[in-house]
Structure 1
Amino acid sequence: MRNPSETDILTAIYQVIQDRKRNPSEKSYVASLYAKGLDKILGKIGEEATETAVAGKGGDRDEIVYEVADLFFHVLVLLGHYDIEPERVYAELRRRFGVSGLEEKASRSS
């Protein structure tokens, strides 16, 4: 696989995750998450979200970057579980761009 650019790294990682899902190996962390099931994947997201929050509170910029990368990775594993392409998330973010967060949230609760 070619080295992905900065703009498509999440898509490239997602493609590797999907490959690990289709072709599991004992040496694959992703395959081990899928083998343990959805609850394990969700637990990892919760763990990484908590670690991200703790890093944010601590204010160490490098630690924040490290923990956010872990969180993004595990969210991609969740998307892979449901075969949801990251592009769907990007499209939703594009839809929300330029819309007040308060207005967007209100539109979902109507």
Structure 2
Amino acid sequence: MKRQTHLTAQQIADLKLEGMPTSARRVRSWAEDRGWEFIAKPDNQGGRHFAISSLPASAQADLKARWAGQRKAAPSASNTHDGKGRSLGDRACRALAAALQTFADEMWGDA
């Protein structure tokens, strides 16, 4: 299975990372303003998938703490639904978890 290293703006917003906007629109704006790396993937996830390594240091530290078990993401309507009241579903949750695990493994080694 190919390792994921990129997330959509919606996925980033849903994580509610430290110092990051919590809406996909604002994440896209931040990414453009700061010149984040991305790959273009025309799909129903927004087209641009931003490199996890482009996230600000505070957001990367938040991810590191979550993967180390020091901080847990609290379930909320934003990070368990698509913003329209629909559940993200198992596939989207698994893809997000795989991307975060890959990022953690590459940045901080296998735990």
Scaled by the length of structure 2, what TM-score is found?
Answer: 0.35
Q: Which structure shows the higher helix fraction? A: 1
Rg (Cα) greater in structure: 1
Q: Which structure shows the higher strand fraction? A: 2
